Amino acid sequence: MGLMEDADLLNLAVDDAQAADTEEIACTLPTDGDAQGPAGFLDIIGGSAAMRAVFNLIRKVADSESTILVTGETGTGKGLVAKALHCCSRRKDKPFVAINCGAIPENLLESELFGHVKGAFTGATANKIGKFERAHGGTVFLDEIGDMSPELQVKLLKVLEGGEFEAVGGNRTVKVDVRIIAATHRDLDEEVQNGCFREDLFYRLFVIPIRLPALRFHKGDIPLLMNHFLQQANSKNNRQVEGVADEVGRILMNHAWPGNVRELKNLIERVVVLRGEGHISLRDLPANLINAASSNPTPTIEITDDGISLNSAVTDFEKALIIQSLEKTNWVKNQAAKLLQLNRTTLVEKIKRHQLQPE
């Protein structure tokens, strides 16, 4: 770990990191004990087969102690899934501590995770407890773990293997009892092949994978999401927007949504604040959205500035087609296989791999 040369810079960066990239939550489940709402699961909105499969998987694994790796494109809701897993677990009354590994400088991240002792580096004027120790008994959510440096990956591997670590500059072994949930928008398998992510750490994390579909693969949820975000934006900003015009709904349904659910949420809040009341019309939409709809009426998969994992996109597309074929045939696998022009045994293997099951 590199030493900080400026104490003021250290304190400022740590304060920013704690304010923006860490979180502790209190879980409140519905009083009837059923976390499933009419159109979602806890704070995750969705009624499509793809999202119901995610909800079912959360229910199955939440009360386990297994490490979980949540993957999906930026904006798909990986943080919400991590919170749902914690709130449905036996650790729900203990701390949930989240940290964005990609948003904190490498030379600060080690201290944030594991703490430091006084005098460990310039600016370390007192002992500091790290996130792992603060989360004792609860859950640590490591967001964007694919951005973690190889040096820190080694230290994290030690925590996963034995629940032990040393603070920066310290020689006392600290033992903690935490459940680790990690998330990334990267294809970690590909990162391992490229030598950017440790293979042993990958397999330690890849105990129970949860793959979140991109919004373009469950567009049937867009009306639910629009209504939810509209009501949320009205309440937050003291507005009285009643709904969206039909033509607006059609444009939003056909948009590729490279930023996924987060992009939709931000768009709805923007137009609600500016509109104020009544119904959202075409003139309320950003010009680039209308132009894109006019020039490209057929939705496509877009490559964002961060790039896109081809393997993940193909996996999501395959899963969406399989779900569609199964729903169309009431889960009669022989008929679904014919629709997909596959052998039944091949389809069954793919259903198992995607962890799909009927409601």
Domain that holds residue 72: 7-211
Domain boundary among 195, 211, 227: 211
Averaged pLDDT score across all residues of the chain: 85
- Band of the pLDDT at 69, cuts 50, 70, 90? very high
Whether residue 191 is found in the same domain as residue 80: yes
Domain annotation covers residue 175:
yes
The one-letter code for the residue type at 35 is A
Q: How many domains does the chain have?
A: 3
Asked, for residue 301, whether it belongs to a domain, the answer is no
Q: Which of 19-33, 226-240, 297-311, 317-331 has the lowest mean pLDDT?
A: 19-33
> Domain holding 333: CATH number?
1.10.10
Q: What are the contacts of 127-132 at 24+ separation with CB within 8 A? A: 127/167, 128/167, 130/167, 131/22, 131/97, 131/99, 132/159, 132/165, 132/174, 132/176, 132/178
Give the pLDDT band (50/70/90) at residue 1.
Answer: very low
- Whether the predicted pLDDT of 73 surpasses 80: yes
Distance CA 359, CA 345 (A): 21
pLDDT at residue 20 greater than cutoff 70: no
Asked if residue 307 has pLDDT above 80, the reply is: no
The pLDDT score that the predictor gives to residue 39 is: 65
pTM: predicted TM-score of the whole model, two decimal places: 0.77
pLDDT: which is higher, 287 or 93: 93
Residue 303 domain flag: no
358 in a domain, yes or no? Answer: no
Helix axes 49-61, 78-87, angle to 10 degrees: 40
Q: What is the pLDDT of residue 19?
A: 43
Same domain, residue pair 117 and 249: no
In this structure, the chain runs to a length of 359
- Model pLDDT, residue 302: 58
pLDDT digits (tens, 9 = 90+) for 257-281: 999 999 999 999 999 999 999 999 9
Q: What is the pLDDT of residues 178-218, one digit of tens each?
A: 999 999 999 999 999 999 999 999 999 999 999 999 999 99
63-91: average pLDDT? 96
Residue 162 lies in a domain: yes
Within 13 Å and on the Cβ side, how many CA atoms surround 270? 9
